[in-house]
Amino acid sequence: MGMTMTQKILADAAGLSSVKAGDLIEARLSLVLGNDVTTPVAVRVFEEAGLKKVFDREKIAIVLDHYTPCKDIKSAELCTTARSFAKKHQIKNFFDVGQVGIEHALLPEKGLVVPGDVIIGADSHTCTYGALGAFSTGVGSTDMAAGMAMGLNWFKVPEAIKVVLKGSLKGYVSGKDIILHLIGLIGVDGALYKSLEFTGEGVSSLSMDDRFTIANMAIEAGGKNGIFPVDEKTLEYLKGRTDREPKIFSADDDAVYAQTVEIDLDTLESTVSLPHLPSNTKTVSQVKGIEIQQVVIGSCTNGRFTDLKIAAQILKGHKVADGVRCIVIPATQEIYMQCIEEGLAKIFIESGCALSTPTCGPCLGGHMGILDAGETAVATTNRNFVGRMGHVDSKVILASPAVAAASAVAGEIASPDDLKEA
C-alpha cells in the first residue's frame, strides 16, 4: 500500500520502511517550539519531572511573541520564566523583544525549517511549516516538555485528505481565500486528525506566502497538519537561509486518501468567514456593506511582506474611514524593516493606520486592539470564535489582506474593486 507525503516523513523519522494510517509511532524531532504563553507551562512540567537537560540546545526554539512587549505583570512573569530557562540551558534559538517575530513567520525566515523535518510546537498553528514540505503540528505544553528532554514524540499516523488545486488565482484572490473556501466546504472538523495534502497544477502558481497562509489554517479544519509538495519555489525560498540539506518526499501514486476535494482557482472569489466560526464562509460579494469598527492586518497567517505590500497598494492615496481603527502588524523585524525601506510604513501611517512592532497582539485578544461589546473587526487572523479578540459580544470577520485594506477605507466589508468603482 502506498504512502502519503506525511506518512513518508513520519516513517523516515521513526526509522521504519513504511507506516499506515492509525499506526502509533515514536518519531525523532527536528525542532521543538514554544512561546511566551506555552513555554512556562512546559518549563514547570520539565522541572517537576526532575529533568536536568535538553536533548539538543540547537533544536529548541522559544519565541516571546504573544504578549510582548509585555502588556502587564502576568505576561512579564511568563517571559521571565522563559528567559531564565533559555539562559540556563543555553537555548540557541531564543527570540526576545527586538529580535522577535511572530513564531510561525519567524522560524521559516530564520532557516530553522527544511523539507522533511518533523516539528512539534506548543501552539496550534505550528502546522504552518507544511508549506515547506515538513511535517509540523501543534501539541500541548506537556508534550513540549517531553520533546525538549528526549527529542522524541509519539504520533498516531494520520489519514489524509487530498486537496487538488486547479487553474490559477485571479486578481486580488489569494491563499487566504483558498483556505477559507476549503474550510467552508469541509467544516471546522472536516479534517479532524487528518493531513491536508495539497496537490495539482494550481500549486505551482501559489507564492510561498500563499502556501504558508494555507498550511497555517489547516488546524481550523481540524487538521493534524497541512502540507505542500516541494518544488522550485520551495527550494528558492530556502536559499541563503540554511545550509541544512532538505529531505524531499512525495506521495506514492497509489497512496490512500480518506477524501479528495477539488478547488478551481480560476473561479474562486474573495471570501470571508463571518462570526463565529472559520467555516461560516461567504464571498465578499454576498456580504458587502457590513459595518465595521476595526481592521487588523497581520498575524502568523497574513503578516508577511507580500501581505502587507498588497494592503499598502490598496491603502495608498486613501484614508482609513472615519470611525474605523486600522492596525498593521508586521510579522517579523525583517518584515518591519522591509516596510520602512520600501515605503510601506509611510503609506500605512499617512493612511491613518497604527503600525505595531511584531506581536500576536489582538489575534488572541492579548493587546494592541481589544474589541468592546458590539464592535466588529475585519482581521487577517485565523480564528473568529466568540470573544477571540475581546468582549464576548464583539465579532471578528476573517479576510485576506486585500479585503481587509479595502474594508478599512470603505468603513464596511468591501473588495478592492469597490474602491476603484467609487
Residue 422 predicted with pLDDT over 60 = no
Give the pLDDT confidence score for residue 17 in this predicted structure.
Answer: 95
193: which DSSP letter? Answer: T
Instruction: Please report which residue ranges of 239-291 form alpha helices under DSSP H.
Output: 284-287
Mean pLDDT across 201-218: 97
Q: Walk across the sheet containing 93-95 and list its strands.
A: 93-95, 60-63, 31-35, 118-121, 135-138
Spatial distance between the Cα atoms of 120 and 86, rounded to a whole number of angstroms: 18
Instruction: Please report which residue ranges of 268-400 form alpha helices under DSSP H.
Output: 284-287, 299-302, 305-315, 333-341, 344-351
Spatial distance between the Cα atoms of 266 and 167, rounded to a whole number of angstroms: 5
Where are the domains positioned within the chain?
5-263, 272-421
CATH number for the domain whose boundaries are 272-421 = 3.30.499.10
Q: Walk across the sheet containing 194-199 and list its strands.
A: 225-227, 194-199, 159-166, 259-264
Q: 351-402, pLDDT tens digit by residue?
A: 999 999 999 999 999 999 999 999 999 999 999 999 999 999 999 999 999 9
pLDDT band at 417 (very low <50, low <70, confident <90, very high): confident
Give the pLDDT confidence score for residue 418 in this predicted structure.
Answer: 82
Chain-centre distance for alpha carbon 201: 23
Nearest to 258 by CA among 197, 342, 177, 303: 197
Average pLDDT, the chain: 96
Domain 5-263 coded CATH 1.10.1660.10 = no
Mean pLDDT across 11-37: 97
| Grid cell at residue 223 | 487538521
Spatial distance between the Cα atoms of 39 and 22, rounded to a whole number of angstroms: 29
Give the pLDDT confidence score for residue 1 in this predicted structure.
Answer: 76
Mean pLDDT across 318-330: 97
Q: 336-356, pLDDT tens digit by residue?
A: 999 999 999 999 999 999 999
What's the predicted TM-score (pTM) here?
A: 0.95
Identical topology for domains 5-263 and 272-421: yes
Spatial distance between the Cα atoms of 102 and 125, rounded to a whole number of angstroms: 11
Per 3-state DSSP, what percentage of the chain is helix, strand, and coil (rounded to 5)?
A: 35, 20, 45
Mean pLDDT across 23-35: 97
Mean pLDDT across 235-261: 95
Residue 67 predicted with pLDDT over 70 = yes
Q: 268-318, pLDDT tens digit by residue?
A: 999 999 999 999 999 999 999 999 999 999 999 999 999 999 999 999 999
Q: 117-173, pLDDT tens digit by residue?
A: 999 999 999 999 999 999 999 999 999 999 999 999 999 999 999 999 999 999 999
303: which DSSP letter? Answer: -
Nearest to 8 by CA among 111, 134, 128: 134
Give the chain's count of helices (H) and strands (E): 15, 18
Q: Identify the helix (H) or strand (E) that includes residue 227.
A: strand 225-227
Give the pLDDT confidence score for residue 168 in this predicted structure.
Answer: 95
pLDDT band at 421 (very low <50, low <70, confident <90, very high): low
Count other Cβ atoms within 10 Å, centred on residue 349.
12
The DSSP bridge pattern shows strands 159-166 and 152-156 to be: unpaired
Residue 362: asked if its preceding bond is cis (omega within 30°), the reply is: no
Torsions phi, psi for 89 (to 5 deg)? -100, 10
CB 102 within 8 A of CB 332: yes
